[in-house]
Structure 1
Amino acid sequence: MTTRTLAGFPVFPIGLGCMSLSHGYGPAASPAAAEALLLGALDRGVTLFDTAALYGFGHNEELLGRILAPHRSRFMLASKCGIFHVNGQRRIDGRPETLRRTCEDALRRLRTDVIDLYYLHRWDKAVPIEDSVGALADLVQAGKIRAIGLSEVSADTLRRAHAVHPIAAVQSEYSLWSREVEIAVLDACRELGAALVAFSPLARAFLADGLPDVAVLGDDDLRRRMPRFLPEAYAHNLTLLEPLRRMAQDHHCTPGQLALAWLLHQGEHVIPIPGTTRLAHLEENLGAAGVRLDAGACAELARLFGRDRVAGERYTPATQADVDTEQFPAS
């Protein structure tokens, strides 16, 4: 598969989401395992590495800086600002002075003089989006960042932001079982020339057929509190995997590769960034770029994972209140 364009850069169609090396799904990877994974990704052709100030409260940016800084010319670096932990509390802060200060912190941790793509991780609804994007535009002008992205925003917010400064990408959850971007954002990105960078494209390991029992998840695993992974909903959702497995066999690939290939077929501007801590999983994910699907297969996969078939909401009400994405009407 040919490269895709992100913020003017040609990138391999599948990038690497780095959060799980530090944050979210249990203990952080060991330094040796993290180094093997990151350098292995680079050697296997990955050209987009995605991190954030939030991940491990700076640990993830520091990790990428330590391991990848000597290879900085070989990849596109994306990070995010606007969500922090202060005294153990998660805080969204999009004030211009905060974004400027945290960009300097990120540059130091990442051991670079410029971040290729810098996202506003969440829109701080107490601050006009125009003000936050204006501050990021100042960072572009100063040569601190090369392009601006937004994460988990609606099409309306994207258009307002784009009127201030071109938005190169919107990062949002997008997978067979999380399709809210199809309401408006996917098309808005296409219209404005922005990429849609899909995080959790394997539904947090569910579509990779790698999570048969949620009871084994640790207390520090964010899935423990997600509605779709609660026992009753998850028992139902597991029934969706058997047809996915059959289709994967028909296409001579794994279920995870099939799920990623479906995403790649949703538009040339779609770039999935699955995360992993294991080289074997990384190689499997990258292999999805070679899986070809016809229109019938894409439609059947979309039908199998229609929103009326998936049990549970994407987020809890409290977490959903922090995002700006469109939602499907309650069923």
Structure 2
Amino acid sequence: MSRLFSPITVRGLTLPNRVWVSPMCQYSATEGFPGDWHLVHLGQFAAGGAGLVMTEATAVTPEGRISPQDTGIWSDQHADAWRRIVEFVHGQDAAIGMQLAHAGRKGSTKRPWDGPGSVPAEDGGWPTVGPSATAFGEYATPRELTTDEVAALPEAFAEAARRAAGVGFDVLELHFAHGYLVHQFLSPLSNSRTDRYGGDFEGRTRLALEIADAVRATTGLPLFARLSATDWTEGGWTVDESVRLAKLLAERGIDLIDTSSGGNTPHPDIPVGPGYQVPFAGRIRSEAGLPTGAVGMITDPHQAEEIVGNDQADVVFLARALLRDPHWPLRAANVLGADVRWPDQYARAKSWH
């Protein structure tokens, strides 16, 4: 029996399989509102057999967007725009999760196909903020947040969580990775503060823990955190610190660590290869005692089956593999001999013979 296609229960929510859609920015929203592109983009993965479909990084404040074309949930109107997407995914017997995010110093950037760099105010950009006035590469230098401004951020995440839960999202994920705002606080490479949100491990992790507390207090939904396990840069955030933080997050009701890496320095030396980030998920799972999701160049059904079957992670999050083949889960189930539900409209294609 395939472990990859066995159900998993997280805080009372049972997912039909362990092939989940990783958050993928689409840079296609208008004023933070998702549209037809997002309905089709996310809907195809639900029809394609994924057990959980995650939204892209969705900003909790307007200035929390990565680009002017990113989605948001800073108002009730934004939440309402997500409702039809939620309902479609549920109609395919899949679950849907929202990744809540704030880009910090990596906000107000151009879409990838428009080239690198920050977006000026006259083109719809905005002044960025961060833990310290330290720029990311060639991006604009952010303004250092005041202590009071940092202390107000958890409530922005909590309000966004309330809105997402209110329109039917099944899972929430806190984006603490990839060099965005909370990761910027975690790493000494981007956080040189001298107040209670800087300095030692306790200070640098304070915001992450306060956000986790605030969001957990609003909802009983499964709650994930995405971590960059390492900065891949000397003097930066480390795997040891990720394990310590994961243990603290578990105490605050985080149910799963979505384990990635990097993103906080422009050109780290990363030994990229198939499954190169899976060992981070395995170590956090083993040492912190939390379920984990593995990411990073997971492309083959047998590879994914091995990761889950050998307890290196509890689930796999796929991204580019699903962009190439939105029905990857259905194909993988056939390869692994698993029996999965197909949409009635596609059932005639279930046999490969």
What is the TM-score when the length of structure 1 is the normalising length?
Answer: 0.54
CA offset at residue 14 of structure 1? 0.5
Given candidates 208, 213, 226, the residue that maps to 1:132 is 208
Higher relative contact order (CA 8 A, sep 6+): 1
1:70 corresponds to 2:155: no
* Cα distance change of structure 1 residues 121 and 82 upon mapping to structure 2, 3 Å threshold: farther
The equivalent residue for 1:22 is 27
RMSD of Structure 2 on Structure 1 (CA): 4.1
- Tell me, what secondary structure is at the counterpart of 2:325? helix
Structure 1 counterpart SS, 2:274: coil
2:257 aligned to 159, 170, 177, which one?
170
Show CA shifts across 1:271-294 (max 9, x none).
22222597870113443245459x
Give 5+ residue unaligned stretches, structure 1.
24-29, 208-255, 294-331
Equivalent AA in structure 2 for residue 267 of structure 1: D
Paired residue for 2:295? 199
Pair 1:274-2:286 in alignment: no
Tell me how far 1:44 sits from its aligned partner: 3.9
User: Which one of the candidate residues 29, 32, 43 is aligned to 2:47?
Assistant: 43
Q: Residue 318 of structure 2 aligns to a residue in which SS? A: coil
Secondary structure at 1:179's aligned position in 2? coil
Confirm whether residue 83 of structure 1 aligns to residue 138 of structure 2.
Answer: no
Provide the TM-score with structure 2 as the length reference.
0.52
* Residues 123-179 of structure 1: CA deviation (Å, up to 9, x unaligned): 322433144213321221122864242411334333345334243222233885353
For 1:3-50, what per-residue CA distance to the aligned partner results, in whole angstroms no more than 9, with x for missing partners? 234455322211112415338xxxxxx955543342233234433122
- Determine the structure 2 residue equivalent to 1:187: 283
Query: Tell me, what secondary structure is at the counterpart of 1:15?
Result: strand
- The 2-side partners of 1:91 and 1:279 are apart by 32
SS at match of 1:170: strand
How far off its partner does 1:78 sit?
3.7
Contact 1:148 1:166 (C-alpha < 8 Å) held by counterparts: no
Once residues 281 and 324 of structure 2 are traced to their aligned partners in structure 1, the CA distance between those partners, rounded to angstroms, is: 33
Q: 1:278 to 1:266 in 2, by over 3 A?
A: closer
Q: Partners in 1 of 2:321 and 2:336 — Cα distance?
A: 26
Q: Which amino acid aligns with 1:99?
A: P
Match of 2:156 in 1: 101
* d(CA) in 1 for partners of 2:89, 2:6: 22
> Which shows bigger deviation, 258-267 or 58-67?
58-67
CA spacing shift, 1:4–1:105, aligned 2, 3 Å: closer
User: Equivalent residues in 2 for 1:1-331 (5 A)?
Assistant: 1-11=5-15, 12-22=17-27, 32=36, 34-51=38-55, 52-53=57-58, 58-59=70-71, 65=82, 67-71=84-88, 74-84=94-104, 85-88=106-109, 95-105=150-160, 108=163, 112=167, 116-122=171-177, 123=183, 124-125=185-186, 126=191, 127=197, 128-143=204-219, 146-153=222-229, 154-163=239-248, 164-173=251-260, 177-182=274-279, 185-202=281-298, 256-267=300-311, 269-275=313-319, 281-289=325-333, 291-292=335-336
Structure 1's 193 and 282: CA in aligned 2 closer, same or farther, altered over 3 A?
A: farther
1:180 and 1:152, CA in 2 relative to 1: closer, same or farther beyond 3 A?
A: same
C-alpha contact (below 8 Å) 2:173/2:225 kept by paired residues: yes
Q: 1:189 to 1:82 in 2, by over 3 A?
A: farther
- Residues matched between the structures, number: 234
- Higher percent of residues as helix: 1
Q: Which amino acid aligns with 2:20?
A: G
Per the alignment, do residues 111 and 138 of structure 1 end up closer, same or farther by CA in structure 2, a change over 3 Å counting?
closer
Q: Residue 341 of structure 2 aligns with which residue?
A: none
Match of 1:299 in 2: none
Residues 199, 273 of structure 1: 8 Å contact kept: yes
